[in-house]
């Protein structure tokens, strides 16, 4: 027996992903009358007819691929006896449809490859289930006129699809075709136009010749070279001033990914998801060309994200290195002229187009760990990330490296896309611009600003310049709160291990065990402190960390408890790394060096809340086999985590901070904590590294009003 009329409310990421046309098709199929509309961030359906219960059931089973339904509810309302089912257009009062960019869907790829389709070989084909979103939206409400597609007037055929609710391109704001949409163009390193009928063909030829091609992707320029040409890779590394940091590679499809790496079902789904991130995968031995991921076990692979990438990858015979279009630490280029100015020294050829990129969104990085995806760099496809969070409107300015910002408004926290390391003025300018953009886009006037406790971070200076009340938040507390905000956790032990962050006692922290109760916290345990010679310079040379661990007396050596520097020191001890050319290099080499199947661990005694690694230093220095030492060292750290968890006695234990990007450490800690009866959690949608800090800072200043904040004790 169906009720007279159902009002169904669907909550989650349901706007701008083709949800209304999807409901429209279902309603027509089931012969229902009524309407569907966007309302305050939800999709609201009113439907009547004999088969409304089928509609309810199918909404639970089926949904558009990019939709993410968080809650769905219904109520019964009086019948209206209408005929027909319509899509109501969005009112201007409706809440923002904030949707990340989406990789080309299977249907659009079919159109692009079909000689009979009017989208055949059109590099900007998209529909309601795929294509650019956040990277092209000027302001909300999301409409053609408020995107960078506004200047392109739809042709008759595109307009007809756009207005047809039965069509997949119904209200697909960026839809376009070769007759009416953006076009490719080519220019040389000096910015001079290169005439070509077949732009993609020229680019393919250049890649085949070992040239470096700068290509305007979805959220910014990328630099491409033939991933099997070691000379071309070396040249790219030299010009980009990036000697060792692993390079991401784009492959044409999952089969191609499987030739280079081990890909399980979850990893395959992640590669093919609408976000289409760079996925870190264990590569097959002996297949990876030199220079892609030196001395590591994993390689970052991604699939084509736009029809342009698909066409290119289908025309070349090789995988293609696909790295951000920037110099080492600078933000990614988005503007055509800017790209030539900044990348002209690196690229031999530019593949551009005339669809402007409104905001820079770099490629995301993710991996599968413990049978589920984890985002390591939140950008294209994932940003902006929206999570529930109550509190006053606020802005959080994040940390120093992997900077990202966050705002709180209307019961939601919004974490920005990855901005970068604040090591140069371009990056700092990008941070300031992103802060303005977030405030304009989400229409918020922050009442307060949260920043890191460190007084010298550029993000802290920026927070202080705004002229609003500023709340500094301890770095590792922010890491913990970010993980808690994502999972809705209140009381737990959080293991926060990273490089460095200023502690509330004025020393440098980084090997912390924080007992959290809401926004209140207590430092339950930490690593044995040591002097870190040269402070920040120590991060660039693992041998300095080793000197610190050995207690060699030096000037300018602040005290720290950094787990990251402990890894560095052991990597230097085992002769795995000296000078580091990118953050985490020594720790990554140590992880890669660990011999599989080693179950023993060095002693790591826990005395009065201090994990003392000093005897480990002796033991590791007399170990005969490097791989065994690397394994026993990391196993010991895992046993240290278990020991602290036992002593603290909270059932839930979270693992976060940059050190838990280490797969060996994280997987083993998860397993051992479960064996001991704990419930371990890790961040999934929020990066465990400093990319998630802003969210935690926000939680610290917007958290439940009556809970006293700050430490119980030091």
Binding site for Fe ion (CB under 5 A): 498, 690
Do 281 and 288 contact (CB within 8 A), yes or no? no
- Pairing assessment for the beta strands 278-282 and 365-369 based on DSSP bridges: parallel
What is the C-alpha to C-alpha distance for residues 457 and 427, in angstroms, rounded to an integer?
A: 13
Close Cβ partners of 606 (under 8 Å, ≥ 6 residues apart): 525, 612, 640, 643, 644, 647
Among positions 246-265, residues that touch Zn ion (CB under 5 A) are none
Q: Which of 60, 50, 1, 61 is nearest to 27 (CA)?
A: 50
Q: Which is nearer to Zn ion, 166 or 579 (CB)?
A: 166
Residues 50-89: x/- map of binding to Zn ion (CB under 5 A)? ----------------------------------------
CB of 495 to Fe ion, least distance (A): 13
| Residue 276 contacts Zn ion per CB under 5 A | no
Among 8, 43, 67, 127, binds Zn ion (CB under 5 A): 127
Work out how close the CB of 566 gets to Fe ion at its nearest, in angstroms, rounded to a whole number: 14
Looking at the Cβ atoms of 539 and 542, the one nearer to Fe ion is 539
Q: Does 103 participate in binding Zn ion (rule CB under 5 A)?
A: no
**Measured from the CB atom, is 149 or 401 closer to Fe ion?**
401
Neighbours of 30 (CB within 10 A): 17
Site residues for Zn ion, 104-123, by CB under 5 A, read 105, 108
Where on the phi/psi map is residue 34: left (φ > 0), alpha (ψ -120 to 50), or beta? left
Angstrom distances, CA of residue 325 to CA of 213, 260, 275, 280, 332: 10, 24, 19, 20, 5
SS (H, E, C) 58-75: HHHHCCCCCCEEEEEEEE
Stretch that binds Zn ion, among 177-185, 293-301, 360-368, 527-535 (CB under 5 A): 177-185
Q: Name the residue whose CB lies closest to Fe ion.
A: 498
Q: Which residue in this structure is represented by tokens 């630099």?
A: 223
498 binds, among Zn ion, Fe ion, none (CB under 5 to 8 A by kind): Fe ion
Nearest distance, CB of residue 338 and Zn ion, angstroms: 29
Binding-residue total with Zn ion (CB under 5 A): 10
Tell me whether residue 105 or residue 496 sits nearer to Zn ion (CB atom).
105
Q: Which of 274, 266, 245 is nearest to 18 (CA)?
A: 274
Task: Give whichever of 101 and 690 is closer to Fe ion, judged by the CB atom.
Answer: 690
Q: Is 158 in the site for Zn ion (CB under 5 A)?
A: yes
Q: Applying CB under 5 A, does 99 fall inside the site for Zn ion?
A: no
User: In 3D, which of 15, 176, 9 has the Cα closest to residue 89?
Assistant: 15
Q: Is 172 in the site for Zn ion (CB under 5 A)?
A: no
Minimum Å distance from CB 312 to Zn ion? Answer: 18
3-state helix, strand, coil in the chain (%, to 5): 30, 25, 45
Give the one entry of Zn ion, Fe ion, none that residue 155 binds, where binding means its C-beta sits below a cut-off of 5 to 8 angstroms depending on kind. Answer: Zn ion
> Does residue number 160 form part of the binding site for Zn ion (CB under 5 A)?
no
Rule CB under 5 A: choose which of 95, 150, 180, 489 binds Zn ion: 180
Is 130 near Zn ion (CB under 5 A)? Answer: yes
The verdict on whether omega for the bond into residue 86 sits within 30 degrees of 0, i.e. cis, is no
- What single DSSP character describes residue 144? G
Nearer to Fe ion by C-beta: 329 or 437?
329
Query: By the criterion CB under 5 A, which residues form the site for Zn ion?
Result: 105, 108, 127, 129-130, 155, 158, 177, 179-180
């Amino acid at each position: 027996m169906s009720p007279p009329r159902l009002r169904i409310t669907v909550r989650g990421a349901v706007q701008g992903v083709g949800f209304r046309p999807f409901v429209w098709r279902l309603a027509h199929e089931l012969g229902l009358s009524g309407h569907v509309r966007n309302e305050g961030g939800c999709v609201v359906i009113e439907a009547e007819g004999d088969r409304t219960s089928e509609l309810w059931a199918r909404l639970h089973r089926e949904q558009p691929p990019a939709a993410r339904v968080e809650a769905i509810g219904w109520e019964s309302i009086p019948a209206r006896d209408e005929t027909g089912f319509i899509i109501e257009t969005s009112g201007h009062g409706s809440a923002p449809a904030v949707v990340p960019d989406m990789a080309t869907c299977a249907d659009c790829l079919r159109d692009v490859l079909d000689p009979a389709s009017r989208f055949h070989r059109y590099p900007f084909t998209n529909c309601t289930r795929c294509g650019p979103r956040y990277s092209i939206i000027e302001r909300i409400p999301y409409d053609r006129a408020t995107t960078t597609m506004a200047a392109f007037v739809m042709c008759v055929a595109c307009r007809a699809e756009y207005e047809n609710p039965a069509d997949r391109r119904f209200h697909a704001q960026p839809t376009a075709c070769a007759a009416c949409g953006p076009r490719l163009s080519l220019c040389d390193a000096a910015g001079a136009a290169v005439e070509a009928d077949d732009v993609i063909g020229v680019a393919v030829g250049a890649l085949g010749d070992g040239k470096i091609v700068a290509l305007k992707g979805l959220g910014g320029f990328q630099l491409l070279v033939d991933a099997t040409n070691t000379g071309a890779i070396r040249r790219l590394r030299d010009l980009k001033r990036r000697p060792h940091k692993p390079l991401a590679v784009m492959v044409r499809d999952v089969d191609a990914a499987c030739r280079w790496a081990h890909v399980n079902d979850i990893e395959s789904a992640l590669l093919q998801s609408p976000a289409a991130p760079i996925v870190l995968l264990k590569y097959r031995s002996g297949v990876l060309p030199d220079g892609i991921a030196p001395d590591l076990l994993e390689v970052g692979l991604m699939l084509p994200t736009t029809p342009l990438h698909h066409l290119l990858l289908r025309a070349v015979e090789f995988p293609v290195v696909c790295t951000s279009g920037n110099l080492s630490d600078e933000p990614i280029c988005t503007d055509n002229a800017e790209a030539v100015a900044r990348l002209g020294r690196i690229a031999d050829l530019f593949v551009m187009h005339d669809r402007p990129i409104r905001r820079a969104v770099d490629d995301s990085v993710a991996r599968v760990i413990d049978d589920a995806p984890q985002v390591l760099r939140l950008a294209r496809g994932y940003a902006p990330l929206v999570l529930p969070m109550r509190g006053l409107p606020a802005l959080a300015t994040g940390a120093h490296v992997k900077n990202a910002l966050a705002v709180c408004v209307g019961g939601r926290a919004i974490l920005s896309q990855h901005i970068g390391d604040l090591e140069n003025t371009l990056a700092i300018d990008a941070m300031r611009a992103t802060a303005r953009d977030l405030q304009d886009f989400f229409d918020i006037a922050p009442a307060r600003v949260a920043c890191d406790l460190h007084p010298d971070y550029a993000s802290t200076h920026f927070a202080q310049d705004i002229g609003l009340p500023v709340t500094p938040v301890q770095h590792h507390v922010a890491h913990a709160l970010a993980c808690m905000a994502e999972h809705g956790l209140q009381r737990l032990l959080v293991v926060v291990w990273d490089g460095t962050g200023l502690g509330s006692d004025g020393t440098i922290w980084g090997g912390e065990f924080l007992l959290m109760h809401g926004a209140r916290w207590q430092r339950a345990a930490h690593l044995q402190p040591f002097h870190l010679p040269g402070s920040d310079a120590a991060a660039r040379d693992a041998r300095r960390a080793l000197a610190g661990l050995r207690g060699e007396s030096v000037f300018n050596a602040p005290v720290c408890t950094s787990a990251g520097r402990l890894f560095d020191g052991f990597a230097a001890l085992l002769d795995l790394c000296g000078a580091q050319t990118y953050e985490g290099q020594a720790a990554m080499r140590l992880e890669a060096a660990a011999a599989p199947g080693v179950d023993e661990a060095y002693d790591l005694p826990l005395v009065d809340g201090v994990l003392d690694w000093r005897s480990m230093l002796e033991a590791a220095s007399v170990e005969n086999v490097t791989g065994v030492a690397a394994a026993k060292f990391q196993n010991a750290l895992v046993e240290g985590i278990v020991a602290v968890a036992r002593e603290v006695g909270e059932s839930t234990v979270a693992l976060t901070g940059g050190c838990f990007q280490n797969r060996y450490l994280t997987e083993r800690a998860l397993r051992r904590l479960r064996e001991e009866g704990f419930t371990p959690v890790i961040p999934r949608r929020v990066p465990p590294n400093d990319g998630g800090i802003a969210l935690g800072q926000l939680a610290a200043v917007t958290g439940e009003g009556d809970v006293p904040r700050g430490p119980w004790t030091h």
